Amino acid sequence: MQDSHKTSTLNNFRKAVQAGEFLVTAEVAPPKGGNITHTIEMAATLKGRVHAVNITDGSRAVLGMSPLAASAILLQHGIEPICQFACRDRNRIGLQADLMGAHALGIRNILALTGDPVKAGDHPDAKAVFDLESIRLLQLIRNMNQGVDFNHKTLNDGALDLFAGAAVDPQSKSWSGLQSRFEKKIEAGAQFFQSQLITDFEKLEKFMDQIASRYNKPILAGIFLLKSAKNAQFINRMVPGVNIPDHIIERLEKAKHPLQEGMKIAAEQVQMARGLCQGVHIMAVKKEEAIAPILDLAGVEKVS
């Protein structure tokens, strides 16, 4: 009997990684509610411009639709997803169940995350799980790809075929901690890395030269669309480890059209990242329609 999902499964991102192409991914948030129309529309603007679209899993611990469901729906529309899996809300039984479900639905790309703390979000009194964290989740995915579960018991109905990635923060204050966790994620099976938003490209270059260069795994630099000076100042206050430089905030303040200036800044950052690493991961919260124009400004060609 033919696997009904085999022909519909998209593997363009994995193929692009293996071919050494310059990688482009972007982030789209799932809806808060049952109507996914807007998410589909935003993801559709990225067709032919990115290799895959990240669907977030309760980013900042804010409620949203299951990324598994949203990713499956995007796949039905011919859009390749990277389904984020955070450990905050599920124990090892729930994580394994959802990973098997992802495989059965034709979802192949997984971003393994520990997850933001509950108190940062819109349900601060919720009970956090954190049975695993990102490194152990990567190990779990590797085991399931080899046909065994968390307890090393055989998956009687077949191994999985998931392409797992992880997050990295080249701007981490602890250089030894950054190196240690990055190497542990490599050892656990991470095949690609998407970074937190980059504002210090000298630190990115140092990370690429002194740590990442030892391994043949692609790093996608996080590029964030700043919509205004107020938006940049808010991020500086609220996002740990991020320091948007004063000269960028001043550019946004002086701009007649701040959003357009923010798009120019993002395009410049894409070009800087292109000289340092193998890809970019673009985040344009509630302005996903700006991602394709940013790529045009940066001179990034359409993906095959």
**Closest alpha carbon to 82 in 108, 64, 50:** 108
Residue reference for tokens 């009194």: 125
Token representation of residue 80: 């390749």
194 forms beta bridges with 167, 220
Instruction: Work out the average pLDDT over 237-255.
Output: 89
User: Which tens digits make up the pLDDT trace of 36-82?
Assistant: 999 999 999 999 999 999 999 998 899 999 999 999 999 999 999 99
Q: How many CA atoms lie within 13 A of 58 on its CB side?
A: 24
pLDDT value at residue 4: 42
Compute the chain's Rg from CA coordinates.
19
The predicted structure's pLDDT at residue 238: 79
Cα 243 from Cα 245, distance rounded (Å): 6
140-144: average pLDDT: 98
Structure token pair of residue 188: 């656990």
Average pLDDT of span 164-175 = 96
- Over residues 93-122, the mean pLDDT reads 96
pLDDT(2) > 70: no
Of the pLDDT bands very low, low, confident and very high (cuts 50, 70, 90), residue 9 is low
CB 180 within 8 A of CB 187: no
Q: How far is it, in rounded angstroms, from Cα 230 to Cα 187? A: 41
CATH topology for 10-226+264-288? TIM Barrel (3.20.20)
Contact indicator for 198, 226 with CB cutoff of 8 Å: no
Q: Among 61, 6, 49, 59, which Cα is nearest to 28's?
A: 59
pLDDT at 7 exceeding the cut of 80: no
Mean pLDDT over 162-173 rounds to 96
Q: How confident is the model at residue 189 (pLDDT cuts 50, 70, 90)?
A: very high
Q: Tell me the CA distances in angstroms from 108 to 9, 162, 210, one per residue in order.
A: 8, 5, 31
Longest dimension (CA), the chain: 63
- Whether residue 210 is predicted with pLDDT greater than 80 in this model: the reply is yes
State the chain's mean pLDDT as an integer. 94
- Per-residue pLDDT averaged across 187-202, rounded? 96
46-50, 63-67, 168-172, 239-243: range with lowest mean pLDDT: 239-243
Read off φ and ψ for residue 84, nearest 5 degrees.
-80, 140
